[in-house]
Amino acid sequence: MVALNPVQTVFWARVDAIHLRRLSTVAPTGRPDPADDKVPPLSPTPPRKPKTALKPGPVKPAALRSDHSSPHPPTHSSPDGKKASHHYHPPRHVHPPKAFQTDLSVLELAKRDIVEATEKGVLDPPPKDAGSIKRFGHHVFQLLKFYFRGLKAINTHRKQVATIRKRVQSGGALPTRAEIRFMRTYKQDALKLVPFMLIVLVAEEVVPFIALYLPRMLPSTCVLPGQRNRIILKARTSQLQALFRDRQMYELICKEHQQTGFVPVQSLKDPAAVCSLLGLPAWGPSWLASRRIGQHLGNVTEDDERLRKEGNGRSLTIAELQEALSERGIIPTPERDSAEDLRDQLRWWLDTSEAMPPGADPVSRRLLLVGIIGSQKC
């Protein structure tokens, strides 16, 4: 093999490079390669949704329709994100109530009330070795003490009411719902004070008869627990009786005024029927019954505002919830008497009464709700 000098080595290296370049170059054929024209497809762009012009629409009248549409508001969500289903309608009663009656005489009822009050610690028990005469004298003395403490409590309430009013007049905190109801109860008790004192001083034995037949004459501080339960039961029974007795009247209210969403008090054909459902006295001429309805629903309107500010009755007890519902003509059924059910029924009233159709006022709006409750078609 002949050895090459450096110049020859460089020459042949360049020749080899040119030869390799020619081998790697393909002559064009004049036709484009279809594979070269293929461009990787772009990722598809999702189509844009057309913009929606958000314009406020006209406000429709909030008319309640008891036979087509339900006035129930939508369900709310619980704090954990789950939907909580609420029974946003007043209870429906299927069977009429039995008339309030008792097999016991008035004296036997009085004895039972005394025994129940003694068991609850309201009255002191008689000595164990006391005879019948001494036991009777002990009960009479205990009742006198109970009535005296009740009358004394009214005076204490007077001072508490004066303190609340003084606080408000000096620019302090406004009264709460409980304080306002306390002041209203005191006002009613003060009006009953003088007649009740005369009855106790002249004929104390007549008090059980008054508790049975004229319970509105007794101050709230002078009612035994058994008498209080009997008064509440009798009032609820009377409301249920009105619910079944005057149902056609309530259906007529809904039929005539469901389109407008409110019922003027002056348009009522039988205001006494509405008074009975609301637990108000139904005696007297029509104009007097209409006046009672207007005043009562006016007080309920103010109470609704306070309930909304204080959590829609979240802090109320079962007894307080039952009282609030009874004032609005709602009588719970035994199947729906738990605290949560009672709050749902109260929330239905608060939510539905808040929607105010054109031309309505708070009283006329709530009067339609009373008609819906009485018609039992909500």
Is residue 238, in this structure, part of any structural domain at all? yes
- Give rounded-to-5 percent helix, strand, coil for the chain: 60, 0, 40
Is residue 43, in this structure, part of any structural domain at all? no
- Tell me what pLDDT residue 40 has: 45
- Tokens 């306390």 correspond to what residue? 182
CA distance 231 to 228: 5
Burial of 215 (0-12, 13-18, 19+ CB in 10 A): middle
Point out which residues pair with 77 in neighbouring strands: 83
Is residue 28, in this structure, part of any structural domain at all? no
**Which residue, of 223, 256, 289, is where some domain finishes?**
223
**Which residue, of 188, 223, 258, is where some domain finishes?**
223
- Does one domain contain both 109 and 251? no
pLDDT, tens digit (0-9, with 9 covering 90-100), for 156-170 = 999 999 999 999 999
- Tell me what pLDDT residue 304 has: 95
- Tokens 């170059």 correspond to what residue? 25
- Tokens 């000098």 correspond to what residue? 5
Burial of 171 (0-12, 13-18, 19+ CB in 10 A): exposed
- Tell me what pLDDT residue 20 has: 52
What are the φ and ψ backbone dihedral angles of 120, each rounded to 5 degrees? -90, 0
Burial of 299 (0-12, 13-18, 19+ CB in 10 A): middle
- Does one domain contain both 236 and 299? yes
Residue numbers of the domain that contains 133: 105-223
- Does one domain contain both 155 and 289? no
Angle 339-354/318-327 helices, nearest 10 degrees? 40
Angle 177-202/286-309 helices, nearest 10 degrees? 130
- Does one domain contain both 302 and 318? yes
- Does one domain contain both 216 and 253? no
Given phi > 0 = left and psi -120 to 50 = alpha, else beta, which region is 70?
beta
**Total domain count, the chain:** 2
- Tell me what pLDDT residue 33 has: 47
- Tell me what pLDDT residue 27 has: 47
Is residue 53, in this structure, part of any structural domain at all? no
- Does one domain contain both 349 and 212? no
- Tell me what pLDDT residue 101 has: 64
- Tell me what pLDDT residue 51 has: 52
**DSSP calls for 243-255:** HHHTHHHHHHHHH
- Tell me what pLDDT residue 77 has: 39
Residue 248: half-sphere exposure toward Cβ, Cα within 13 Å? 1
Q: Which residues does the chain have with pLDDT short of 50?
A: 1, 7, 26-46, 52-87
Is residue 132, in this structure, part of any structural domain at all? yes
Amino acid identity of residue 90, one-letter, is: P
Show Cβ contacts of residue 89 under 8 Å, excluding neighbours closer than 6 positions: 70, 72, 345, 348, 378
- Tell me what pLDDT residue 6 has: 57
Strands (E), the chain: 76-77, 83-84
Amino acid identity of residue 6, one-letter, is: P
- Tokens 């429906």 correspond to what residue? 92
**Which residue, of 166, 192, 223, is where some domain finishes?**
223
- Does one domain contain both 128 and 235? no
Average pLDDT of the chain, as a whole number: 79
- Tell me what pLDDT residue 67 has: 40
- Tell me what pLDDT residue 17 has: 58
Q: How many helices (DSSP H) and strands (DSSP E) are in the chain? A: 13, 2
Count the Cβ atoms, other than its own, within 10 Å of residue 65: 15
CA distance 292 to 189: 19
- Tell me what pLDDT residue 42 has: 44
- Does one domain contain both 239 and 130? no
Q: Which of 317, 310, 319 is nearest to 350 (CA)?
A: 310
pLDDT, tens digit (0-9, with 9 covering 90-100), for 240-266 = 999 889 888 998 988 888 888 889 999
